[in-house]
Chain A
Amino acid sequence: MRHTALAQTWFLSLRQGRQDPDMIYFDNAATTWPKPPQVIETMVQCMEQGGGNPGRAGHRLALEAGRIVYAARRAVAELVNAPDPMRVVLTANVTEALNLALHGLLRPGDHVITSSMEHNSVMRPLRALEAEGVELTVIACSPDGALDPGEVEAAIRARTAMIVLTHASNVAGTLLPIAEVGQIARRHGVLFLVDAAQTAGACPLDVQSAAIDLLAFTGHKSLYGPMGTGGLVIGPRVNADRLRPLKQGGTGSRSELEHQPAFLPDMCESGTPNVVGLAGLVAGVDWVRRRGVEAIRAHEMALTRRLLDGLAAIRGVRVYGPQNPQQQVAVVSLRIDGMAPDEIGLRLDEEHGILCRVGLHCAPAAHRTMGTFPTGTVRFGLGALNTADEVDASLAAVDCLARKGQ
């Protein structure tokens, strides 16, 4: 029973981490932690009492599983004011959702516009498509990550098929002007894809008022669900007949046919879905909605303000991004003079119990824009469950390291 012993060792070390009162988790931009207890309880309940495969049979356990999957579509649709839950395609993560939108809709000869603050989940599929004949314009953002919507509009050509933007940078936290760009896209008849990895659940999002045609989201960040959940919200302007699925296979529908069904969401959801994860996502979205996205945003803005003010007072610390909570999400990138980001990260963890992320954050373009490539930065990602005391403890730790760096 070697495997059982190994699993027990993992769980034991995880439990010890949870009980460490001095540990401060500031890596919420990578994944939020801890998860609300109801998310965990719902997932356990789903495994204990559920167990069917949705859409694969008509018995009660299969139907219950199907209702969970439907509830996930509906929860996300309601959260972002999407009119049709049948146009919420569920995926394993936001990367898969972005790949579905990009590879599924763009063809050689099409022109795409994006920003220089994108994560590689956008940039890598676009570079791969570029090699296949899609033309790409990357609009340079300012060093703090800000994007001028006028430059996006000026870059539109006759063959422009799509504008792709992150809602907020995962490195600098900068919020991009999606509402303005959405209107530009709509005026020019161009599809607008938004990467909401850092914002779904953390910032108010309305796909209709922001004129978003495609919204890619993840379940495990500010929606407080588990990893392995995410999706693509597809608006009415997107012609599903033009969308090429990333994979083909069993859907539980039209089983008499050997060809992939041509309707949403089934055409893009082959294979058994992550029902347990989606049950957790439903509970996570419910938790977010009960707390209120506006209230979460206000809390995170207050923490960000506290962190930025404190950092500004520490000698030898350089902060990147807008340094204004109104213009960013609760993500703060910094450097300390005389100390490499990886050393800062290690010392914050080992000497101060503060967990953050260092390096390039899978976003080399963003770091080039900020002037922090290739060394990268130290990133503090704050979440709804962090407190002012934790911010203060982190400021003391950064101050301590900054003194040593001099």
Chain B
Amino acid sequence: MSGMGYAVILLPSTSHAMHAEATLKQAGIACKMIPVPRHISSDCGVCIRIAREDREAARAALAAAGIAWEGMHDC
């Protein structure tokens, strides 16, 4: 990933995060599953970290697969 910083995608559950990870990888978008940063959510699950520059591509890939995400935050 580039030095432009990251964005995280929050999903309803780990099951959805797994679905989103597989979908993003299939779309060629580099991603990494990380614990949800405390300052973003109290949820104890995981979220997906992508490069900030991939935000639009990620939105498109998730929307095409019908995956509803809960939030996308720069971090």
The residue of chain B having its C-beta at the shortest distance from the C-beta of A264 within the complex is B15
Whether a CB of chain A sits under 8 angstroms from the CB of B29 is: no
Contacts of B43 in A (CB 8 A): 253-256
Whether a CB of chain B sits under 8 angstroms from the CB of A69 is: yes
Contact A70 B35, CB 8 Å, known A63-B46, A252-B13? no
Contacts of A63 in B (CB 8 A): 33, 46
Contact A251 B13, CB 8 Å, known A58-B33, A256-B43? yes
Give which listed residue, A54, A255, A269, contacts B44 with CB less than 8 A: A255
Whether a CB of chain A sits under 8 angstroms from the CB of B34 is: yes
**Pairwise interchain contact A253-B13, C-beta atoms closer than 8 A:** yes
Whether a CB of chain B sits under 8 angstroms from the CB of A11 is: no
**Pairwise interchain contact A86-B15, C-beta atoms closer than 8 A:** yes
Docked Cα-Cα span, A297 to B17, in Å, equals: 36
State which size class the interface on B falls in: 20 to 34
Contacts of B19 in A (CB 8 A): 70, 85-86
Whether a CB of chain B sits under 8 angstroms from the CB of A392 is: no
Number of A-B contacts (CB under 8 A): 63
Whether a CB of chain B sits under 8 angstroms from the CB of A249 is: no
Residue of B18, B34, B67 most packed against chain A (CB within 10 A) = B18
Contacts of B21 in A (CB 8 A): 67
Contacts of B14 in A (CB 8 A): 54-55, 66, 252-253
Number of residues of chain A lying within 8 A (CB) of chain B: 25
Give which listed residue, A57, A58, A85, A256, contacts B42 with CB less than 8 A: A256
Docked Cα-Cα span, A386 to B36, in Å, equals: 50
Whether a CB of chain B sits under 8 angstroms from the CB of A41 is: no
Contacts of B44 in A (CB 8 A): 252, 255
Question: For chain B residues 1-50, which have a beta carbon within 8 Å of chain A?
Answer: 12-19, 21-22, 33-36, 42-46
**Pairwise interchain contact A70-B15, C-beta atoms closer than 8 A:** yes
Docked Cα-Cα span, A86 to B33, in Å, equals: 18
Contact A253 B45, CB 8 Å, known A70-B19, A86-B15? yes
The residue of chain B having its C-beta at the shortest distance from the C-beta of A86 within the complex is B19
Map CB proximity to B onto A67-108 as digits: 1 under 8 Å, 0 otherwise: 101100110000000001110000000000000000000000
Question: For chain A residues 236-291, which have a beta carbon within 8 Å of chain B?
Answer: 251-256, 261, 263, 265-266, 269
Contacts of B12 in A (CB 8 A): 253-254, 261, 263, 266
Map CB proximity to A onto B50-73 as digits: 1 under 8 Å, 0 otherwise: 000000000000000011000000
Give which listed residue, B15, B34, B42, contacts A55 with CB less than 8 A: B15
Docked Cα-Cα span, A73 to B18, in Å, equals: 11
Docked Cα-Cα span, A74 to B67, in Å, equals: 14
Contacts of B66 in A (CB 8 A): 84
**Pairwise interchain contact A67-B18, C-beta atoms closer than 8 A:** yes
Docked Cα-Cα span, A289 to B32, in Å, equals: 30
Contacts of A261 in B (CB 8 A): 12-13
The residue of chain B having its C-beta at the shortest distance from the C-beta of A261 within the complex is B13
The residue of chain B having its C-beta at the shortest distance from the C-beta of A90 within the complex is B15
Contacts of A55 in B (CB 8 A): 13-15, 45
Docked Cα-Cα span, A248 to B34, in Å, equals: 27
The residue of chain A having its C-beta at the shortest distance from the C-beta of B41 within the complex is A256
Docked Cα-Cα span, A255 to B36, in Å, equals: 12
**Pairwise interchain contact B46-A58, C-beta atoms closer than 8 A:** yes
B32 to chain A, nearest CB (A): 10
Question: For chain A residues 16-67, which have a beta carbon within 8 Å of chain B?
Answer: 54-55, 57-58, 63, 66-67
Q: List, sorted by A's number, 10 A–B pairs whose CB atoms are closer than 8 Å.
A: A55-B13, A55-B14, A58-B33, A66-B14, A70-B18, A86-B15, A252-B44, A253-B14, A263-B13, A266-B15
Beyond the given A66-B46, A86-B15, please list 5 additional residue pairs across the A-B interface where CB-CB is below 8 A.
A54-B14, A55-B14, A63-B46, A253-B43, A255-B44
Query: Which residues of A come within 8 Å of B, CB atoms?
Result: 54-55, 57-58, 63, 66-67, 69-70, 73-74, 84-86, 251-256, 261, 263, 265-266, 269
A-B CB proximity, top 4 nearest:
A58-B35, A253-B13, A70-B18, A55-B14
